[in-house]
Chains A and B, each alone.
Chain A
Amino acid sequence: MKITLDGIGDITCDEGKTILELCRERGIDIPTLCVFEGLKPEARCRLCIVELDGKLVTACSTYPRDGCSIVTNSERVRKARLMNAELLMPKHVNACSIDAKGESDPLCKLIYDLGLTRIRFEPIKKYAQDLSESVLRDDNKCINCGKCIRACSEIMAVHAIDFAQRGHDEHVSPYCGHRLHDVACIKCGQCIAACPVGAIYEREHLFEVLKVLNDKNKHVIVQTAPSVRAALGEEFGMPAGSLVTGKMVAALRKCGFDRVFDTDLGADMTIIEEASEFLHRLEKGGPFPMITTCCPAWIKFMEHFEHGLIPNMSSCKSPHEMLGILAKTYYAETSGLKKKNVVVVSVMPCTAKKFESTRPELKSEVDYVLTTREAAKLIRHFGIDFTSLPDEEFDSPLGISTGAGVIFGATGGVMEAALRTAYEFATGESLGRKLEFEKTRGLDGIKEGSVAINGKEIRFAVAHGGANIRKLIESKDEYHFIEMMACPGGCIGGGGQPWPTTKEVLGKRMDAIYRADRCLPLRKSHENPAVKAIYSEFLGKPLGKKSEELLHTRYFKRDMF
């Protein structure tokens, strides 16, 4: 197919690509706000206007015809884009003084780039903010691009929010105008990741953390999730996929945390308990499939929509809760600290962990949860030049970890780590160098495979993204062991990660995670010396009385509405 693009004729291009895609391939920048990577275009925002044979069309939803002429930069096109931007702005600009997305707010950047200098219209309506736990909304900033709704319904299959009213009154709303807190929202934060204007954001724990850091009586411990080290660098301008473990530890220490521990150790503990639980179920004959419980958004998803699965769920707490309770018991006891003076702060890629830390049955383990973005804010708040920091090591004893703990950050990682340990526990044989379970890896929505343990075929499956989770639940009975992660890509694509999380960025973060695993001397959870010490000195044995009391939890039925 031949087209004329900006006056240059005879350009050969592939069929089945939109004008937007063709232009981007050729380095022509067209502004858009509502395009959602991987989903069909909706053509709502009308900013990607181009001229197609003399008619104004939206580049995101229009396919060129053979012999057509496209103009992307005429005065008419620029004027049309500018006016649509001007129409969007009154509401947003009024509420955008301290923007949740900072300099990366795509709308404000786009407006700046378009050169919009006057806005002739005043905002009309003021909306009340939706101040819920963990995920907050401010409709005053919203520009109705609909991306949060698409993330919630098409990616996550949760349907907690949709548009209400029509015309200028149209706004995003949870079911029947309730607060997000009161509806079946799983707090995954994918809406936050999708929002181009910062109208949905996490409840920040930054001020509370700064307060305890200033309190001389408190012993403040910070722990960092596996996926944070693969993404935090992006906040400081480093390329996606940079592993910044050492710099992250150094920066947090500079912020004044008394100890910097690694959630990977919690992950190793989870694996020991979970693998033991799985082997126990194998002996007992069920119930199968056993399903992982590391992801608090998945837990809430299950409690709302699939509570029939409660008996199938592993009873293990999530890794950061395990590390939190160990810090307040084991670590506090061995270091002579009073439990009430120990404060645990988790740096997580996740907004659902914020909700998890407020669950009544888990309230005492972790005090505050910061997202990756908030951690970066904290580091900037202290004026630390992150990129030039020398690498430092985690503190002992709760900072020693294995490759198995690191890969928790990517979809399929929990399964792989659990299989490494379960195999060796059950067979008594070493896996040798064949540690990689390739079937659990990659970004396919649902992955499956099988492994023979003592002559029995164990079928496992992995799903990430709510829509894939729903699909896998339909065929759950075919498997013995299932890993579920609510966010696409697992924790590396979490709702608390730096913007933007594109497919490309996701792939790079994933590479970084597996790179970290390969580089570590210890790659199996049960070989972690700290884990061994915790069991011999403190807990006794996996699934023992003390382990059950400290490391395991229960789940509840929640309503659909």
Chain B
Amino acid sequence: MQILRKTDLEAFRKARELGPAGVISLLKEKGLSGRGGAAFPVWKKWEYTLNAQADEKFVLCNADEGEPGTFKDKFIIKNNPETLIEGILIAAQVIGATRAFIYLRGEYEHLRRGLERVIDSILKESKSEVEINIVVGAGAYVCGEETAIIKSIEGFRGQPYFKPPYPPVEGLWGKPTIVNNVETLANVPQAILFDDWIEDLRLFSLSGNVTKPGIYELTEGTNLSELIALGKPKNRIKAVYFGCFGGCMPYAAMELSPEKVCVKNCAIGSYSIIAVDEKQSILDVALSVAEFYAHESCGKCTPCREGTIRIWELLEKIKKKKATNDDIDTLKDLAEQIRETSLCGLGQTATTHVLTALAHFRNEFVKEA
């Protein structure tokens, strides 16, 4: 696998020779984009941060991998932490940061000790002056959102705030901050060092009704049927979910690329695929996803705080066969309202699963209603 190749601080040394502008133009040439879900070009984020004027800057590695069905960051932290740390050092060197943070998901606390040992040995070997701190989250899904991470590290409630200003301008303690996902930062040294590095290779997290779930490294645009076949499902697959926030669509032989998935009103996000077979009811899945969002809403803005729990309520009503057609209309209205008027990415995507399920599997809801 490309992601597991070791760079042994060679990329760090090369980056030092290239200088900040050199690294940024190299990353631009290689086309490395963010792997957290938004696919924002890495070079652009770094350039904004480099150009922002401040006495101090920070690098923040987002390891709060809370999306259900996503486990690629854990895979990297377990199997190739050296390259991740090297990526953090390169980022710090480019923007001139002396402090970096790794915001580790609360449920990954068992990975902390190992990661600390790797940090120590790499810092010793590289003779870098950068201080890397691990901050462990307390289990909130919303703390995967970059502004919520910043609040959490600062010691406040882990709640997002509206952007702009974006973190490259005003981040941790109001200073310019690079916030990148684990997979992104682990790709940085490889993109810098290897000429045969391919941007299109992605880590797919496959789970659900398959007998071989796990991480598969495939190129973007791989056919969905190919991926599902690797998972060896027992029964016929009916639908796939793209994590929780990406929505669902009927299973079909199609290319897995952001553009193609977008046609189905879904978002491929962090490339997690949850397979649902024909024995499952979409309503049951919707119920458990709705419960997840009602539980994980941070409570800051009205539509997400008050709306996600109502979505769950309405789905329960449908499940108990007490719903009317009006309730299904309300469900759709409410889902659109939450998507359009919520403050952060959590609320804006919290109802994609309902909207896509209603679009593609409406009969399963009406049948129950």
A446 within 8 A of B: no
- Asked whether, in the complex, the Cβ of B299 is within 8 Å of the Cβ of A46, the reply is no
- Asked whether, in the complex, the Cβ of A170 is within 8 Å of the Cβ of B305, the reply is yes
* Contact flag A168-B305 (CB < 8 Å), given A83-B333, A163-B299: yes
A216 within 8 A of B: no
- Asked whether, in the complex, the Cβ of B343 is within 8 Å of the Cβ of A43, the reply is yes
Q: How far is the CA of A42 from the CA of B341 in the complex (A)?
A: 14
Q: How many residues on B have C-beta within 8 angstroms of the other chain's C-beta atoms?
A: 29
| Residues of A close to B24: CB separation below 8 A | none
- Asked whether, in the complex, the Cβ of A168 is within 8 Å of the Cβ of B294, the reply is yes
A433 within 8 A of B: no
Report the minimum CB–CB distance from B369 to chain A (whole Å): 16
Report the minimum CB–CB distance from B309 to chain A (whole Å): 4
Q: How far is the CA of A236 from the CA of B334 in the complex (A)?
A: 41
| Residues of A close to B334: CB separation below 8 A | 83
Q: How far is the CA of A116 from the CA of B151 in the complex (A)?
A: 36
- Asked whether, in the complex, the Cβ of B309 is within 8 Å of the Cβ of A124, the reply is yes
Q: How far is the CA of A44 from the CA of B307 in the complex (A)?
A: 14
Q: How far is the CA of A412 from the CA of B341 in the complex (A)?
A: 45
A421 within 8 A of B: no
Q: How far is the CA of A88 from the CA of B340 in the complex (A)?
A: 17
Q: Which of B157, B301, B306 contacts A168, CB < 8 Å? A: B306
- Asked whether, in the complex, the Cβ of B341 is within 8 Å of the Cβ of A44, the reply is no
- Asked whether, in the complex, the Cβ of B297 is within 8 Å of the Cβ of A168, the reply is yes
- Asked whether, in the complex, the Cβ of B299 is within 8 Å of the Cβ of A87, the reply is no
Q: Which of A44, A49, A165, A167 has the most CB of B within 10 A?
A: A167
- Asked whether, in the complex, the Cβ of B337 is within 8 Å of the Cβ of A83, the reply is yes
| Residues of A close to B297: CB separation below 8 A | 166-168
| Residues of A close to B342: CB separation below 8 A | 46
B308 within 8 A of A: yes
List CB contacts (< 8 Å) of B141-188 with chain A: 157, 161-162
| Residues of A close to B363: CB separation below 8 A | none
| Residues of B close to A162: CB separation below 8 A | 157
Report the minimum CB–CB distance from B272 to chain A (whole Å): 23
List CB contacts (< 8 Å) of A50-69 with chain B: 56, 58, 61
B247 within 8 A of A: no
Residue interface mask A25-62, B partner, CB < 8 A = 1: 00000000000000001111111010000001010010
Q: Which of B305, B307, B337 contacts A144, CB < 8 Å? A: B305
| Residues of A close to B308: CB separation below 8 A | 167-168
List CB contacts (< 8 Å) of B306-342 with chain A: 306-310, 313, 330, 333-334, 337, 340-342
B23 within 8 A of A: no
- Asked whether, in the complex, the Cβ of B299 is within 8 Å of the Cβ of A144, the reply is yes
Q: Which of B161, B306, B341, B343 contacts A80, CB < 8 Å? A: B341
- What bracket does the count of chain A residues touching chain B fall in? 20 to 34
| Residues of B close to A42: CB separation below 8 A | 161, 300
- Asked whether, in the complex, the Cβ of A170 is within 8 Å of the Cβ of B337, the reply is no
- Asked whether, in the complex, the Cβ of A87 is within 8 Å of the Cβ of B157, the reply is no
| Residues of A close to B313: CB separation below 8 A | 121
| Residues of A close to B157: CB separation below 8 A | 162-163
List CB contacts (< 8 Å) of B123-147 with chain A: 140
- Asked whether, in the complex, the Cβ of B298 is within 8 Å of the Cβ of A61, the reply is no
* Contact flag A166-B140 (CB < 8 Å), given A46-B341, A56-B341: yes
Q: How far is the CA of A41 from the CA of B343 in the complex (A)?
A: 12
| Residues of B close to A61: CB separation below 8 A | 162
* Contact flag A46-B162 (CB < 8 Å), given A80-B337, A167-B294: no
A-B interface, 6 closest residue pairs, ranked by CB to CB distance from nearest:
A170-B299, A87-B306, A167-B297, A168-B309, A83-B337, A46-B302
- Can you report 21 residue pairs joining A to B where beta carbons are below 8 Å apart? A44-B302, A44-B343, A46-B342, A47-B302, A58-B162, A80-B340, A80-B341, A87-B306, A87-B307, A88-B302, A88-B306, A120-B330, A144-B299, A166-B140, A167-B298, A167-B299, A167-B305, A167-B308, A168-B299, A168-B305, A170-B298
Residues of B within 8 A of A (CB): 140, 157, 161-162, 294-303, 305-310, 313, 330, 333-334, 337, 340-343
User: 10 more A-B contacts (CB under 8 A) besides A49-B341, A87-B310?
Assistant: A44-B301, A46-B301, A121-B313, A124-B309, A163-B299, A167-B297, A167-B299, A167-B305, A168-B299, A168-B305
